[in-house]
Amino acid sequence: MKILKHLRNVFVPHADNNYTPHALGHRPLSLYAGLMVSIKLVSLFSLALLPQNQAFSSAVTPANIYELTNSSRQAYNLPALKTNALLSAAAQKKAEDMVKSQYFSHNSPDGHTPWDFIKGAGYNYIIAGENLAINFYSSESLENAWMNSPGHKANILNHDFEDIGIGVVQGEYKGVKAIFVVQMFGTSSVQPIQAQVAYSTPVQLISLSEVNVPAPTKISLATPIIAGESFALTNQQSFPVHGYAPEADAVYVVVNNKPQIKLDVINGEYKGEISLAEGLNKIRVLSFNSANQASPISKELNVKLDSIAPIVSASIEQVSNPNDKSYLIDVQGQGDVTKVIATIGDQKLLLQPTADSNVWQAKVSANTAALQGGINVRAYDLAGNVKTNVVGTFSSSIQGSYGFLAQKDYQVSYLGKLIPLNLVNDVYIYFILFLLFALAVTIAIKRNVQNLSLIAHTSAMIVVAVILWST
């Protein structure tokens, strides 16, 4: 009974408590205000005024990121990346340069690209890539963000990469303390030499496709002709060949010095398809008649198979000029990128090459609502391969648009323990719900006796809680 009476005094207005529930009295409301403001001040102090808390900033380390990256690759049955000292030095220098020059982009303000940092560290590569991040305070949340971004995920799961280097630097960015992370990938052009054992074998014609050219009885036929230009570029493994072989009954198509297929000659003409290997294929033709009389071998046709889409990474950032509301799309490409197109809704935008042939850019003027579907970037190479990247999925706020800037994974220190900032902010939601419940009970039970001062003060306290929760 005493408990019920106490609860009645706390929440229910009646004559004994002067129609003022104790939960909404002046002193409790002052206590609520002081408590909510204190929580906010402690959070801000922990995030901004103190040096970065080593207990949680140390979680973002090259070792932790390296382990999580290889865990992601392992989940897709990809081989683990190896830490490379040169790539690590390049990544660290890039991170330090971003802090020093106050930028967050693949290209520095003075025009240096990721490839400049990599080459400057002495890492000679066949292919390379870069991932960037800022304002993440746990390696797990960083890896999750990268794996949820198509462009960053493509770098992490690229089966052509063998090495990795990671740089982490603490500093300030636009007046706010931040942690910069640079993740660089590559495959070195300097490959280890493996010992080979030489075997002595009888002289014979060996063909992987088991097509054996007979020994000619006489070289007397005219040299066959391969139709077409002397060089071709394709992204299809199957390649049509045709030409002319006068007086012949069959031709053997030789690819990279290995006979691959025998084709019949009909009315002096042959047609067929061969299978290409990635890279340059040297194609020649040798003709025979039924008496095993042969021709000299034909002139060479060079066909390059390029079936690998260009390696590109795309980013978008708002133009630094406060009077310019447009965005700059930046695409870093490697190889023979010939065209880059960005699609925003129904609008297509052709990116232009910069002074650096590997960098393509375009400026787009669009409000946030127009960008909510994200920007689709397609890069084309000479062979017709296409690489598609989604630059970003935009929302109505900068935090929703740019996960790297949305400080959702912050942690704050209370009494030596780390607590996620989102959990701290939930306290304000409980305050709001509690005050709304108590105010609703007060108004509903004694409709004919209303304490306007109490209603006004409680409503003001709810507004304060909402403001503190949203900031």
User: How far is the C-alpha of 437 from the C-alpha of 233, rounded, in Å?
Assistant: 73
Sheet bearing 238-244, strands edge to edge: 225-226, 238-244, 269-275
Average pLDDT score, the chain: 79
| Average pLDDT value for residue range 311-332 | 72
pLDDT of residue 249: 95
Q: Answer with the residue of higher pLDDT: 237 or 29.
A: 237
| pLDDT tens by residue, 52-81 | 433 333 368 898 899 889 988 998 889 999
pLDDT range class, residue 23, cuts 50, 70, 90: confident
Assess contact for 460 and 439: CB atoms under 8 A. no
Whether pLDDT at 317 is above 80: no
| Average pLDDT value for residue range 201-213 | 43
pLDDT of residue 168: 93
pLDDT of residue 369: 46
* Other beta carbons within 10 Å of 359: 21
pLDDT of residue 275: 93
Whether pLDDT at 441 is above 90: no
User: How far is the C-alpha of 231 from the C-alpha of 300, rounded, in Å?
Assistant: 9
| pLDDT tens by residue, 134-155 | 887 778 878 888 988 888 888 8
Q: Answer with the residue of higher pLDDT: 310 or 317.
A: 310
Whether pLDDT at 123 is above 70: yes
Whether pLDDT at 371 is above 60: no
User: How far is the C-alpha of 68 from the C-alpha of 143, rounded, in Å?
Assistant: 7
Question: Alpha helix locations (H) across 45-113?
Answer: 54-57, 62-75, 85-101
User: How far is the C-alpha of 325 from the C-alpha of 322, rounded, in Å?
Assistant: 7
**Could you give the percent of the chain with pLDDT greater than 90?**
26
User: How far is the C-alpha of 196 from the C-alpha of 177, rounded, in Å?
Assistant: 55
pLDDT of residue 384: 86
DSSP secondary structure string for all residues of 263-298: EE-BTTEEEEEEEPPSEEEEEEEEEE-TT-EE-PPP
| Average pLDDT value for residue range 177-187 | 90
Q: Answer with the residue of higher pLDDT: 282 or 349.
A: 282
pTM for the model: 0.42
| pLDDT tens by residue, 82-96 | 999 999 999 999 999
Q: Answer with the residue of higher pLDDT: 406 or 283.
A: 283
